[in-house]
Amino acid sequence: MKIAFSQPALPETGVLVVTALAGAKLSQAAEQLDKRMKGGLSRAIKASRFTGGKAQSLSLLVPGGTRLDRVLVLGLGKANEIDSPGLQAAGGRLYSALGRKVKAATVAVDAVEKCKLSAARMAADLAFGARLKSYRFDKYRTKEKTEEKATLGRLVVACSATTRARALYRGLDKVADGVFFTRDLVSEPPNVLYPETLARHARSLTKVGVKVEVLGMAQMKKLGMGALLGVGQGSIREPRLVVMRWDGGAGRGRGRAAAPVAFIGKGVTFDTGGISIKPAANMHDMKWDMGGSAVVIGLMKALAGRKANVNAVGVVGLVENMPGGNAQRPGDIVTSMSGQTIEVLNTDAEGRLVLADALWYCKERFKPKFMIDLATLTGAIIIALGHETAGMFSNNDVLAGRLAAAGQAVREPVWRLPLGEDYDKALKSIIADMRNIGGRAAGSITAAQFLQRFVGKVPWAHLDIAGVTWSDKEAPTAPRGGTGFGVRLLDRLVADHYEGR
């Protein structure tokens, strides 16, 4: 879908979208339309249950007194409660209402008294929400019905501050590119997406200025990445470690100013559980066990696309966890890149083994300002937080606070859970430095405790995104399937606190 911005003027024909506030108070454009319709819009609203609430919309076909084909009225709620996420959700509702019914539409956006956002920001957010909702993963559908296909190919956003709105949207559009890339990767089937091909997708970021390195088995063996390599040894697909660098910040070269911010992702392209095999029911969902790596790759695309003023590093460990004749066994002991030994009691607790080496590698090579890892790590986090909120663990209160604020700002919430020495004791092994599971109790916490052993003193946060990477229901700005949760969150974190610093 193409999005354009124009000066405020109501179209004579086609499809028009206007807005209303709580109490069915019409916007300036809606009032103009009502006059053209000789009060027809007001009468239609009074005859309906539409009150201008932020989750409401009202559709009118062939509105009288005009040559328009259709009018859609979007409710924005109370003026003093309008915010960017709410407007993005309104843009998503706009697309849901029109996306499979019309080819082009114009949405009129007016300044709203008592609203803290400018008309330009409102216009950009509405457009961003519509674009996010327009995502579809349909490359493998060969017999799709015509009525199921998207038709809305052009959306014109009319507002007074056209130049400013266009500039604001330009950055959001690049973030949407990153979100879509993440959704694409998470949606691919595991016979198409495996370590080698996922690394190839990451390499495509060179087109937007990201430097990409791909480490193979020989290089990882030389580095001593026994934890990561052990996970992949049962598969015919060889593991990869991908390193992505965006050098867009000031102070490039030397010193603390040049130190990058770092993001590390778990990339298990399919997780059978290995020898500790999972139940067959719903195992197909494990194609998106590489969700953390997809977020990191999508984030790097977003940062580079909008030319973020920051030095950033993305590191993703890519493996396939399969039961084979050479597969890792319960009871094996592996030596991580850090030199610490790990007793593998459950081969289905594999993501933490991948991250252990990826985190250590990132810490040692790049000396980053902070490290944030993302992983579909534990089912326990879904029991704790459901499918609405990601779990967050951190050794740094400032970083944790900034992440929480960024999540609230973009409606990708995170909730901090505790770390502590008492939880750490659950990882004690009698024959190695640690074991890879801590028992049934507090499973997400003990997994985070395991990861903390590989970050040293670097400010660090772990986001367990197992419950939010994939959704079986529609959301205001996302269809069913891969959500892209994390890209907007981390982009906002960088934009608010780390650009130009």
pLDDT of residue 319: 98
The pLDDT tens digits for 308-330 are: 999 999 999 999 999 999 999 99
Q: Kindly tell me if the per-residue pLDDT of 338 is higher than 70.
A: yes
Mean pLDDT of 473-477: 94
Q: Kindly tell me if the per-residue pLDDT of 433 is higher than 70.
A: yes
How would you class 138 by CB atoms within 10 Å of its CB: exposed for 0-12, middle for 13-18, buried for 19 or more?
Answer: exposed
Q: Kindly tell me if the per-residue pLDDT of 420 is higher than 90.
A: yes
Instruction: Compute the distance between CA of residue 106 and CA of residue 390 in angstroms, rounded to an integer.
Output: 36
pLDDT of residue 255: 56
When pLDDT is cut at 50, 70 and 90, the band that residue 145 belongs to is: confident
The pLDDT tens digits for 265-303 are: 999 999 999 999 999 999 999 999 999 999 999 999 999
CA-only gyration radius of the chain, Å: 25
**Spatial CA neighbour of 320 closest among 185, 198, 486, 454:** 198
pLDDT of residue 325: 96
Q: Kindly tell me if the per-residue pLDDT of 16 is higher than 80.
A: yes
Mean pLDDT of 447-468: 98
Domains and CATH numbers, the chain: 2-174 (3.40.220.10), 207-497 (3.40.630.10)
What is the set of active-site residues?
A: 278, 352
Q: What percent of the chain shows pLDDT beyond 70?
A: 98
pLDDT of residue 301: 98
Q: Kindly tell me if the per-residue pLDDT of 489 is higher than 60.
A: yes
Instruction: Compute the distance between CA of residue 29 and CA of residue 37 in angstroms, rounded to an integer.
Output: 12
Residues in the chain: 501
pLDDT of residue 252: 52
DSSP 285: G
Mean pLDDT of 67-92: 97
Q: Kindly tell me if the per-residue pLDDT of 256 is higher than 80.
A: no
Residue of 495 and 144 predicted with greater confidence: 495
Cβ neighbors of 197 (< 8 A, separation 6 or more) are none
Q: What percent of the chain shows pLDDT beyond 90?
A: 95
Instruction: Compute the distance between CA of residue 88 and CA of residue 133 in angstroms, rounded to an integer.
Output: 9
pTM of the model: 0.96
pLDDT of residue 144: 80
Q: Kindly tell me if the per-residue pLDDT of 253 is higher than 60.
A: no
Instruction: Compute the distance between CA of residue 484 and CA of residue 475 in angstroms, rounded to an integer.
Output: 12
Mean pLDDT of 220-228: 98
pLDDT of residue 147: 76
When pLDDT is cut at 50, 70 and 90, the band that residue 254 belongs to is: low
